[in-house]
Structure 1
Amino acid sequence: MLSSSRLHVAIDGFNLALPRGTGVATYARTLSHALREMSCHVDVLYGLNIPAHAKAVLREVLFFDRLGEEEKRQNGRFLTARWKAQQRAVLFGQRAVEIPIDGHVDIRSFRDRLPAFNRILNARDLFVTATRHYRRTRRFMAVEIPNAPDIMHWTYPLPIRVLGAKNVYTIHDLVPLRLPHTTLDDKGFHFRLINDIVRHADAICTVSEASRRDILAFAPASDEILHNTYQAVRRPDAGIDVSGETLQRVLQQLYGLSPDGYFLYYGSIEPKKNIGRLIEAVLSAQTTRPLVIVGAMAWKSEGELRLLKSGVKAGRIIQLEYLPEADLMLLVRGARAVVFPSLSEGFGLPVVEAMAMSTPVLTSREASLPEVTGDAACLVEAYDVADIALGIRRLDDDDALCRTLREAGPRQAAKFDMETYQQRLKSFYAQVVSSDSSRGWRRKSGFK
């Protein structure tokens, strides 16, 4: 603990509420568990379509009804109660209300996706309303939380601030600005938001030295408030604790695979992940081990889509759109290697997860990836198909190399264990709490 009193930290549920898990959702969930283990009081603030005036029991029902569901309509129809609530939020800010978790709803199906928390809070349509407000006015939306936290830790760049709290923001990477052709983000919006956060945040944290350098390059004024806390990788018990016999049986029965008999990529299918070059490399590597790809299409690149279909048709690629975490970790455990030659990563969670499970890793020399893998991975040039193919062939043929990587992986992954992460968080929060209050919001900036 930072002091004799219990630190009160709130985090946002922006990514936690999405229908399918993202890397940022995993980051937020892991952060919540780290905070609880540090004896902090943890609030989680969502922005679901739940009327603030609804009775407590109905708020609980609506929360679990709408958690993780794609919402067809985010704007309230003209003059409806929802529309009026959105207009009031723009004019006066938002006030969060508590979602009581009192056992009226059977939540066992949600346990894997819920964060650790003392309180669940919700401000109706918070994230969509705040983004629309910022686009129109370049002002952050103010949110009032009953019994305000000491620190509001936004796990993603969002144009929102909580009144009466130190507002800190995690910027995971600057891929939309460094590799603009690989994302569909509004680049002007993203550039303005990052720089406005830098100007007005009480602190910013990021997840690697590579990301820290990128943030400084685009926003040099961030230097005095920018901290690298890395992030933690929680022990994936589902894949580690099963016996070899059980692993072999599950892989064969569910996927027609055998341990050590396939390469694995998991993550979103998008240009940043370099899927096109990976598929080309696999098809040219002359390996009999197929590539298993687990991930949904984030947005389509026609060239990559054609290659993917060609590889699937040829029997060289097996595509699975989505798997529960426990099933995915079994695939990681059984793979010959996880292959992840990404063009850029803020941290690179899949490679650290694989190393923690003693699965060899092939990854690129780009951004944070050499930093987090150290000497425990096979590194290749991301833009060179021949080099990626060479790396795959090495892992395919060289049992001694794979044994070396299996032994080195857990030692490297231990640098990002929960205990180490908590020490970094304690140091970060101590500096935030002791800093001058309301650093950015006092300035005459025109911000709400």
Structure 2
Amino acid sequence: MKIAIDGFNLGFLQGTGIATYARELAKILATNRHDVSVCYGLNGVGHDPSQAWGRFVEALATQGEAGRKDVTKWLRYSGQYFGNYLLGWPIEARPVPVLPDVDSRRVKDRLPAGEFFNIPSVFRVCQAYSLLVDRSLAISFPKDKKVDIFHATCPLPMYMKNAANVVTFHDIIPLVLPHSTNINLRHYQRILKLSMKTADMIFTVSEHSRNDLIRYFGIPEEKVFVTYQTVAIPAHYQALDDGEVAAFLAQEFALTKNAYFLFFGCVEPKKNVARIIEAMMMARTDYPLVIVGRDGWLYDDVQALLAKLHEQDSGKNRYRRIRYVPFEHLMYLIKGACGVVFPSLYEGFGLPVLEAMLMQCPVITSNVSCLPEVGGDAVLSVNPYDVGEIAAAIDRLSGDGVLRQELIARGLKQADKFSSANHLQRLEQGYRLALGKA
């Protein structure tokens, strides 16, 4: 199939979970003989084909996708596209021919596969239009570039003419947990509805997310298809030697293998980090908690709690805060942890659970949202609102080596359900359904 995906999240300078999804989606499709194209929304690329690739790489590396508050960067395009928008005429993407002599290594992870196209500020403009008019923005590729499927990797008020349109809804967290976000809920809901309206098929990454969509929006069940998710962790990381891991952890982080607990992810309310810290302080184990991940939004409670602990002699050695580590270092940290603690309040899929199982690390996670689907019987499930229950699970893992080995074995079996092959099979099945409805 000829499949185009949006490059909205791939355009951001700072990585996102949806950018990871888009990257892995493009790679898995391209490596299985699908023709993949990515459409970006970068400014400053220009119209000269001989300069377009260099300027595109520069924009991707230094500017990235304009933020929603960077009005000066996208406002002029909102006027430029408005006539087409009102008349329902598509905005045509320009091809960005790849020049092999231009060094693009710095942004290679954001250029996943296939051919590349660009429409300046298209993603910000279509979101702004949706505030004013109840209509999605149409886009198209040049006439000589046929597209069977346009796959939006997150809800966007835009669609592609002359193609079947698919959109992935990862979750509807702002509607389910409104206290955990700081976005305009009315505008968010409007974008979701517009995206649903123009989609021939809606993909979700768990049965739980599918049920949420059907319940909140009354979508026909046959229009919502579960693809689940996968993650590509190179085999050499999964097969890391225990001695090598122990030496690396000691040298890089002054940590002892199997003698610390790990949380990794963005620090924001839904991740429940404050309760993880409280549970660690309540637990009998003296293992420290290592928190890896950048600050998200509404993280003040976590900052205040860590500051309070730092003032106490008994708390100083109970946690380690690391805002960023390279992928390689994260793999060592997961592999060497006594357990990953991930009692999230809500997830669309819960990728850290799958990553930990693949890296043969036991997991403590929630018994709510999609996490029972992902973890199955290979995790210790807890009530994410019960600090005592989280603490008890931490003590179980730290004190029971047999249990840890059982969970590791079950985890590898459970992770196989979300293999790349299974994910590809479900994607292709969903695309065929979309083509039948287009």
Task: Output the TM-score relative to the length of structure 2.
Answer: 0.92
1:295 alignment partner AA: G
Post-superposition offset of 1:417? 0.4
Q: Does the residue aligned with 1:48 lie in a helix, a strand or coil?
A: coil
Post-superposition offset of 1:148? 3.8
Post-superposition offset of 1:35? 0.8
Select 2:124's aligned residue among 128, 131, 143.
Answer: 128
Match of 1:227 in 2: 225
Post-superposition offset of 1:51? 4.1
Post-superposition offset of 1:101? 1.6
- The 5 Å alignment of 1:23-422 reads 23-53=17-47, 55-67=48-60, 69=63, 71=66, 74-76=70-72, 84-92=76-84, 93-115=90-112, 117-146=113-142, 147-237=145-235, 239-312=237-310, 314-422=316-424
Determine what percentage of the aligned residue pairs are the same residue.
Answer: 38
Mapped to 2, the partners of 1:25 and 1:330 lie a distance apart of 22
Post-superposition offset of 1:21? 2.0
Post-superposition offset of 1:36? 1.1
4+ aligned runs moved over 6 Å, structure 1:
none
Post-superposition offset of 1:360? 0.3
2:140 alignment partner AA: E
1:50 and 1:122 in contact (8 A); partners too: no
Match of 1:441 in 2: none
2:154 and 2:167 in contact (8 A); partners too: yes
Alpha-carbon deviations, 1:28-53, whole Å to 9, x = none?
A: 11111121122110001111113442
Mapped to 1, the partners of 2:309 and 2:405 lie a distance apart of 28
Size of the alignment, in residue pairs? 424
Mapped to 2, the partners of 1:38 and 1:364 lie a distance apart of 34
Mapped to 1, the partners of 2:233 and 2:59 lie a distance apart of 29
Match of 2:433 in 1: 431
Mapped to 2, the partners of 1:253 and 1:231 lie a distance apart of 34
Mapped to 2, the partners of 1:89 and 1:329 lie a distance apart of 45
Mapped to 2, the partners of 1:224 and 1:94 lie a distance apart of 30
Mark the runs of 5 or more structure 2 residues left unpaired by the alignment.
85-89
Q: More deviation in 203-212 or 84-93?
A: 84-93
Mapped to 1, the partners of 2:23 and 2:187 lie a distance apart of 27
Mapped to 2, the partners of 1:67 and 1:310 lie a distance apart of 40
Alpha-carbon deviations, 1:42-96, whole Å to 9, x = none?
A: 001111113442x22422122222225465873347xxxx754431122225221
Residues 377 and 83 from structure 1, CA distance in 2 versus in 1: closer, same or farther, beyond 3 angstroms?
A: closer
Match of 1:444 in 2: none
Post-superposition offset of 1:113? 3.8
Q: Does the residue aligned with 2:320 lie in a helix, a strand or coil?
A: strand
Q: More deviation in 303-312 or 293-302?
A: 303-312
Select 2:13's aligned residue among 7, 14, 19.
Answer: 19
Post-superposition offset of 1:280? 0.6
Alpha-carbon deviations, 1:402-428, whole Å to 9, x = none?
A: 111111111100100000111111111
2:270 and 2:345 in contact (8 A); partners too: yes
Residues 336 and 86 from structure 1, CA distance in 2 versus in 1: closer, same or farther, beyond 3 angstroms?
A: same
1:274 alignment partner AA: N
Mapped to 1, the partners of 2:5 and 2:310 lie a distance apart of 41
2:21 alignment partner AA: Y
2:9 alignment partner AA: N
Task: Output the TM-score relative to the length of structure 1.
Answer: 0.90
1:340 and 1:351 in contact (8 A); partners too: yes
Residues 391 and 296 from structure 1, CA distance in 2 versus in 1: closer, same or farther, beyond 3 angstroms?
A: same
Alpha-carbon deviations, 1:245-298, whole Å to 9, x = none?
A: 222222111111121121111110000111111111011113221111111111
Mark the runs of 5 or more structure 1 residues left unpaired by the alignment.
1-6, 438-448
1:27 alignment partner AA: Y
Mapped to 2, the partners of 1:252 and 1:339 lie a distance apart of 21
Match of 2:3 in 1: 9
1:74 and 1:128 in contact (8 A); partners too: no
Residues 144 and 50 from structure 1, CA distance in 2 versus in 1: closer, same or farther, beyond 3 angstroms?
A: farther
Give the root-mean-square deviation of aligned CA atoms.
Answer: 1.8
Mapped to 1, the partners of 2:308 and 2:9 lie a distance apart of 33
1:198 and 1:222 in contact (8 A); partners too: no
Match of 2:87 in 1: none
